[in-house]
Every structure is written in C-alpha cells, then in structure tokens.
Amino acid sequence: MTKNEYAEKHAEAMDAGAKIHAGAGIISLVMGGLMYAYAWALPIFAGLMVLSTVSAIVISWKTDAWVPGHWLAMLPVIGILIGYFVAPWGFTLAYVCLWIAFIHFVIRGIQKTREGKAAA
C-alpha cells in the first residue's frame, strides 16, 4: 500500500467515525443538560456517551492513533457506569468530564488554526 493509498484509507475511516463521534458528543452535551429536568433525557445521554466512546475506540484502533489522552476520554463512560450501578452523582461526573473534553477540543482547534496561519 502506497503512502497516498494509506492516507486515503485513513481519511475515510476518520470521516464516518468522526461524524458519529462528533454528533454523539454534541447531542450528549444537550441531553446531559436536559437530564436534570427531564427523566427521559438520562438514558439518551447515557446511550450517546457509550456510542461516542465506542466510536472513539474504533477511530483510534483503525487509525493507530492511541495517545494517553484517549484513556482520559473514557472517564464519561466510567461516570455513566457509576451513575447506574453505584451512585447518581456518576451522571454528573460524566457530564462534567464531557464538558472538559469539549472545551479541550475547542482549545486544540484554535491552537491548530493559529499554527496553520503562522506557518503560512
């Protein structure tokens, strides 16, 4: 497989997986906020968090892009498990971790944009 073919395969894997991951993450931010007011939002939030985690694992596995931060990204699912099996505060832990991850990715996006402009 040539370098160009590998890059195309890598991009295809990222496209579908990234859309699923990003969509589930953004909707989870909304559902997480709604779970405090509406009981029906909690299982949707939990399900989307699991979907987002699975898609992150698949993306990382297919693209061979494991970094230590990916393990920290699993904290929201640990919060969901705590929420269902140990204590209700686990759902809040998951929601807070999700916001931390979201803010982190926004900051990284801004940094990448600035790096690109500085290089140009």
- Domain borders along the chain are 3-119
pLDDT at position 96 is 95
120 residues of the chain, pLDDT tens digit each: 565 565 566 556 557 777 777 788 899 999 999 999 999 999 999 999 888 888 777 777 777 776 666 666 788 899 999 999 999 999 999 999 999 988 988 888 888 888 887 776
Contact status, residue 97 vs residue 75, Cβ threshold 8 Å: yes
Query: Residue 1: what pLDDT?
Result: 55
Instruction: Give the contacts of 99 (CB within 8 A, at least 6 positions apart).
Output: 29
Instruction: Look at residue 36 in the predicted model and tell me its pLDDT.
Output: 95
Which residues does 119 contact at the CB level (< 8 Å), separation at least 6? none
